[in-house]
Amino acid sequence: MTETRGELILIRHGKADPREESADDAQRQLTENGIKELKKILPELKSHLESTSALELCSSSLVRAVQTAQIIAGDLEINEIQQLDWIENGSYTRLYEKLKDLKPSASLIVVGHEPHLSDWARQLTGFRIPFRKGTAVGFHIQPAEPLRAEPKWMILPETADPQNLNIKRSQPALQAFQRILRFQLHEIFIMLRKFIDAPDEPETAHQFRVRVRTFRSTLSFIKPLLGPEYYQTLQEQMKKLAQMMGRIREIDVLKMEWVKLLETHPELVREPSALTAVLASERQKEQTKIYSSTSEMMADLFNVWDWVENAFVPEIITATEAESRKKSEKEHSFENYSANRVRRWIKQANAGLQTMDTNDFGSIHAMRIRFKKLRYALNALNPLLELEKAATILSMKKLQDIFGDYCDTERNLIILKELNDQHTGEKMSLESGIMSGYQVRIGEENLDEIKRIDSLPFRTGSLNR
């Protein structure tokens, strides 16, 4: 575990009265909704600070920040709130001085404003972290010169209560999807932190990739709403993140299949297993490689997050499309856009099945990706819109698993050949040969299943709306 000087918690004040309704910006007060949202983050905030021996709470002197600090102080039982001008003015020098005096087991809570919080985070971490109103981010301060910080946790009002994203069926589609993407980015951040904290656990890498793919599927789902350059930039950044965990996940999948075979037929191999040792060694190499790149991964993640917050294209469609299609606001509501898009994706998936070449791995893999995108989109939308019955989503998972298992066996065979070429030896050759034969048989069984599928087990008419 990295040695730390202490913990810094940066919190942006809650939602306040609009500027145009107040003659004095410093006197703007929290709204009723702002207070309600702040209270949502308090239980999780408290849980993150349970091991802290000393808490220091500072705030700017602006009313909205002081009111936010008072709510936090009441819940955390902090008796004193320091109102400091440098927080309002955004002095990084004064913050730096405060952090240098921070004891290892102490926590400094600073309630402030944008753009100062994002700028402080950038100077401490090397990348910008967007702070929406009511957002709290916890950093471990590392004892280096100059001081550096590592983001350990993050709380947003909507992620503190994920069942209530406050998305209305009738609201503009892009606005609704911005909230969904924000929630999904928070999930990715959590899984990246879990990998950093427990890299030996295979599920952390797997779930990180699942969360990234879910985000990318959502992006694909709203592609018609985004500018092409903006869409492509986001997809490339997130693809890069997923690929960072790609090799380690492939090794984990191969190892799971190898363990499964040995549990069923222990007589096949004499211990110790050469293939098991090679897989462990290869995983450790990948783990070390990823671990050295986590700062870069964190920076890429928050770059995407910053784009989603600040550069999300507000147009539903381009001016040309608006003129030619004459789409009404109702047709571009979250509900109607989603329902129409799901119907289109199901129709395309059925058409893809009809033209899929079962003798071509690329064609089968393309269908696997299509099923995966559709399933991830339905998983994200169904709690909000109930576009599909639960049985439909379960059917999608079964289809994805069939295609996924086949594609995994093909990939496993390639990896086995690579490992056998790199790690010579009679025992390794024997065991990789046994595993390859097993994967060929499993792959043939999966392919037979795929050949029996000629259409999806549901049609676009199964949509509830």
DSSP annotation of 19 reads G
Q: Once rounded to an integer, what is the mean pLDDT over residues 93-99?
A: 95
155 with 246, same domain: the answer is no
- In a domain? residue 207: no
251 with 375, same domain: the answer is yes
148 with 285, same domain: the answer is no
Confidence of residue 426 (pLDDT cuts 50, 70, 90): very high
Q: Give the domain CATH number at 154.
A: 3.40.50.1240
1 with 141, same domain: the answer is yes
- pLDDT over 90, % of the chain: 68
| Residue whose entry in the numeric block shows the structure tokens 């100062």 | 116
User: Does 202 sit behind a cis peptide bond, omega within 30 degrees of 0 on the bond before it?
Assistant: no
Q: What is the Cα 282 distance to its own chain's centre?
A: 26
Give the max Cα distance, the chain: 82
pLDDT digits over 336-349, tens only? 999 999 989 989 98
| Residue 29 contacts residue 65 (beta carbons within 8 Å) | no
Residues making up the chain, counted from first to last: 465
333 with 456, same domain: the answer is yes
- For the four alpha carbons of 306, 139, 215 and 43, in that order, the dihedral sign comes to negative
147 with 272, same domain: the answer is no
Q: What are phi and psi of 137, to 5 degrees?
A: -130, 130
Q: Once rounded to an integer, what is the mean pLDDT over residues 3-27?
A: 86
- In a domain? residue 410: yes
Cα 297 from Cα 209, distance rounded (Å): 13
pLDDT for 190 beyond 90: yes
pLDDT digits over 366-412, tens only? 999 998 999 898 888 887 887 666 667 777 788 889 999 999 999 99
- In a domain? residue 362: yes
301 with 406, same domain: the answer is yes
- For the four alpha carbons of 46, 301, 308 and 334, in that order, the dihedral sign comes to negative
140 with 253, same domain: the answer is no
Cα 17 from Cα 21, distance rounded (Å): 7
- In a domain? residue 95: yes
Residue where a domain stops, chosen among 130, 161, 192:
161
Question: Poorest-confidence range of 47-51, 261-265, 457-461?
Answer: 457-461
Residue where a domain stops, chosen among 161, 187, 218:
161
112 with 248, same domain: the answer is no
Domain residues for the domain of 251 are 242-462
Number of domains in the chain: 2
Question: Chain-wide mean pLDDT for the chain?
Answer: 88
- In a domain? residue 308: yes
- Among 169, 182, 171, 168, smallest CA distance to 219 is for 182
pLDDT digits over 280-339, tens only? 999 999 999 999 999 999 999 999 998 888 766 454 444 454 444 445 445 589 999 999
- In a domain? residue 74: yes
Confidence of residue 227 (pLDDT cuts 50, 70, 90): confident
Residue where a domain stops, chosen among 161, 184, 199:
161
- Among 139, 135, 134, 136, smallest CA distance to 152 is for 139
- For the four alpha carbons of 397, 402, 404 and 408, in that order, the dihedral sign comes to positive
3-state SS, residue 327: coil
pLDDT score at 53: 72
pLDDT for 450 beyond 70: yes
**Structure token pair of residue 376:** 């991830």
**Structure token pair of residue 338:** 């989603």
Torsion of CA 241, 244, 249, 255, to 10 degrees: -170
- In a domain? residue 363: yes
| Residue 154 contacts residue 161 (beta carbons within 8 Å) | no
359 with 449, same domain: the answer is yes
254 with 396, same domain: the answer is yes
260 with 145, same domain: the answer is no
pLDDT digits over 254-297, tens only? 999 999 999 999 998 888 999 999 999 999 999 999 999 999 99
pTM of the predicted structure, to 2 decimals: 0.89
- In a domain? residue 232: no
